[in-house]
Structure 1
Amino acid sequence: MATTTTTTMTTVSPTEHKSFSSHITSLLKFLSSFQGDLANATGPPSFLAPVSVTEVGCCWAQYPRLFSAAAFEPAPEKRALHVLRWFLSSLRTQLYTGIEFDKIRNGNGKNTTRGHSIRKPLNAFLGEVFLAEWKDDRAGAKTRLVSEQVSHHPPITAMHISDESAGVRADGYARVEMTFNGAVHVNQVGHAIYRVDRYNEEYLVPLPDVKVKGFLSGCLYPEITGTYHILGINGFAAEIKFWGESVLSRAKRNSFEAKIYRKGDSKKTAIYTVVGCWSEGGWTVKDAKTGQVIEKFDLDAPENQAIPITLLPVEEQDEWESRRAWAGVIEGLKTGNLSQVVEEKSKLEQAQRQMRAMEAVRGVTWEPLFFRSCSGEEHEVFRRMVKEWGLEREWKLEGERTKGVWRVNEEAVKGLKRPFRKGVSPTGYHETS
């Protein structure tokens, strides 16, 4: 979820591709010369997306029907399948964020990510908040997202998504680490917990690592590789194997193969299999025992389209909310005015540096609005599930790298009221009467 995070990208249209490709050399020089973690680095403005990393959680919340489906399924193995489908459906908009898919259909009426080179979203500043809702009248479902940048060094984003009427929620956080070695490697430290109140069930959801490839061709794209698990407290789990494009094996970009299996089965015998591509087309779900096709999930089908986001008008948002705080930068990126981008971005970033310096002098400790940090020892759900499923070596909590485990402060969310912080804005501390 958290995904959460700087893994998300937006795209360049094919008509912009030639101009975009001309900047690849400068980007490669920048990446090659940078030492250490790229997560907080400021790259060339021509590679920035008009969206902040605090909006990453939109990919988990913009499909209310899929988000809450597990709450209405009596069979536990099928609930695990619903959670897997929700996870898979989030990947395209998470990693190709900003694409208006309905405007880039190919001749067959399907969307394609080919020819759309990804860009890097804006690094969120400390205390940045993103609040949004999605209402699916057809399914009678409504999701709400609360996202906050709870740390800047290292960058950590925390998120809370809920459908109160269905009794479903997801809470997650992530620290992002980025390195360059011919490709950009994006490592996410963190996870999400998905909960269904009706069945008193929780699922441990991974945040996959991503490799950004395509530098030689001048058309950057993301790939997930490796194996990940979604672990259910109800005795069912999903194992997902990702792989990328390969000429030798004729593998298709963004491919995956997944299965639902039962705890205690050393052979991990599949109950359901899911095979397809998470960025284009979709996937097929089969009953592993009979081979019967249960579902063909089409990413571009009308019923699977993202629900339009509901936001307050920018002028009514709090100063700490993403769209308002980055308004000048976003406008410059959308209009191609890179001078405006640099000026507005520098203004905000310089103010943030001055605030941190002032806090150090005054001995002020920054406190997040909607999330709190807990000791990793308190995270009983994570430790119990990883141990029960025998994945202690593959999946570690690493709370020391994320300043603890981040959980939503439900009372603060319920009492949400603007202005969020009296006497202080993203551009500095101010005198109050």
Structure 2
Amino acid sequence: MSDEGTALPPAQKSSWGSFLKSLASFSGDLSGLTAPSFILAPFSLTEFPSYWGEPKDFFAAIADGKTAEERHLLVTRWFLSTLSGQFTRREKETGSEKKPFNPFLGEQFLGSWDNGELVLHVEQVSHHPPITAYHLENKKKGIVYEGNCAQKTSFSARQISVKQVGHGLLRVKLPSGETETYLITLPKLKIEGLWTGRPYVELTETSYIQASHGLTSTIKYSGAGWVSGTSHSHSTTVTSGAGGPTLYTLTGTWTGETKYAKPSRDGKEGQVFFDASSDAMRTRVDVKPVEEQNEFESRRAWKAVADGIRSGDYDSASQAKSALENAERQRRKDEQARGETFQLRLFDKRPNDPEYKQLAHALKFKPEEEDSWVLKTSAA
């Protein structure tokens, strides 16, 4: 790593030091802490579900699997292939990790790929706690991925720890008319490099993919330690049920090559499962021009803030950010005064989703109580 502060503009080093001090003294969830504009990314957290759709060909290929085992491997490949875009792109493009805007209640992000063959709907369905709901659908292939995500963030041991709360359910409609479902849990992450001025993300602990046909993918994440280890590493096992016999082991990095390792069926040991470093694997989402977006769409709502960040005019970015956030606070106060409750426009809440509970139970650990959100028929 480089010397402290070398990734920061000279004029911002003092502000960065003040921000680190505020981190160290802050108690509770860091989502409530205001970050200085120069460490913000010029987009909102509502854009993050677009990373699920960027490996669009991998997503579409899931429906082409001939057997449950083959489809399970294709789901696992797609999920792993989304991680590099989600967690290392901003570092590569800007020199360090940047914090996205905290979405306002009802904020939307709408996009598509391949002239609408793959479509994404996103809405901020809760502000306290902050929860983002998403629905990604390829109607031609009969594949839907919908879910929700929130973050619980804390500071300790010179790093920021982020627990991603939520889950996704991927459904594949089979030629027989039956539907196969996959529960996808989310990895935890830590943001390191704060004291060098070059924040970056490393994934930690374990996430799972549990299929309705019984197969389970267990993904264990690890990084570089003081003595050994490789950044962005994972070891993934595919088993016949949680704790069952291992069918495949996949090892590598979620930013580079992942290969089959022993045990592996069909003599695939050493073969490349996929290569996440290939830029051709990912295609960015298409979004309507800002002037054609509705007032709740993310890029229109945050345009003045994003323009200030991109131009380096952090004062104007901060002023525009404060104006938007103050206007949202006033809307909530006005609703409360009228005895009204905010109504979501794109999603409906599904409390205690039985499908989620059934698949989570198959993982043989007690999951947190989680609600689900489903896309309204009128929004599809």
Alignment TM-score, normalising by the size of structure 2:
0.91
Report the counterpart of residue 234 of structure 2 in structure 1: 256
**Which deviations, in whole Å up to 9, do the C-alpha atoms of 1:119-163 show, x marking residues without a partner?**
100010111000000118xxxx93211000011111110000000
Counterpart pick for 1:81 among 73, 76, 87 = 73
Distance 1:151 1:97, change over 3 A: farther
Question: Structure 1 stretches of 5 or more lacking a match?
Answer: 1-14, 105-114, 415-433
Report the counterpart of residue 90 of structure 1 in structure 2: 82
Greater Cα offset, 284-293 or 121-130 = 284-293
Give the match's secondary structure for 1:176: strand
Counterpart pick for 1:307 among 266, 273, 283 = 283
* Displacement of 1:70: 1.5
CA contact (8 A) 2:186 2:208 kept: no
How many angstroms apart in 2 are the aligned matches of 1:95 and 1:330? 20
How many angstroms apart in 1 are the aligned matches of 2:197 and 2:314? 20
* Pairing of 1:11-22 with structure 2 (within 5 A): 17-19=7-9, 22=13
* Displacement of 1:48: 0.6
Matched, 1:323 2:299: yes
Counterpart pick for 1:189 among 161, 165, 173 = 165
How many angstroms apart in 2 are the aligned matches of 1:318 and 1:389? 41
The count of corresponding residues between Structure 1 and Structure 2 is 368
**Which deviations, in whole Å up to 9, do the C-alpha atoms of 1:241-280 show, x marking residues without a partner?**
10121122x101111000111127x4x332122111112x
CA contact (8 A) 2:136 2:144 kept: yes
Matched, 1:37 2:13: no
Counterpart pick for 2:111 among 109, 126, 132 = 132
How many angstroms apart in 1 are the aligned matches of 2:133 and 2:34? 22
How many angstroms apart in 2 are the aligned matches of 1:31 and 1:229? 31
The percentage of counterpart residues that share the same residue type is 33
Alignment TM-score, normalising by the size of structure 1:
0.80
* Root-mean-square deviation over aligned CA pairs: 2.1
Report the counterpart of residue 391 of structure 1 in structure 2: 365
How many angstroms apart in 2 are the aligned matches of 1:302 and 1:126? 33
Report the counterpart of residue 39 of structure 2 in structure 1: 47
Report the counterpart of residue 274 of structure 2 in structure 1: 297
Question: Structure 2 stretches of 5 or more lacking a match?
Answer: none
Matched, 1:202 2:181: yes
* Pairing of 1:32-431 with structure 2 (within 5 A): 32-98=24-90, 116-135=95-114, 142-181=117-156, 182-198=158-174, 200-248=179-227, 250-263=228-241, 266=243, 268-279=244-255, 281-286=256-261, 288-289=264-265, 290=267, 292-301=269-278, 303-304=280-281, 306-376=282-352, 379-392=353-366, 395-396=367-368, 398-399=369-370, 404-409=371-376, 411-414=377-380
* Displacement of 1:207: 1.5
Give the match's secondary structure for 2:9: helix
CA contact (8 A) 2:290 2:299 kept: yes
Give the match's secondary structure for 1:328: helix
* Displacement of 1:75: 1.9
CA contact (8 A) 2:90 2:96 kept: no
Output the amino acid matched with 1:119.
K
How many angstroms apart in 1 are the aligned matches of 2:318 and 2:108? 22
Q: Which runs of 4+ in 1 moved over 4 A?
A: none
**Which deviations, in whole Å up to 9, do the C-alpha atoms of 1:90-129 show, x marking residues without a partner?**
1111123446x6xx7xxxxxxxxxx931010001011100
CA contact (8 A) 1:241 1:258 kept: yes
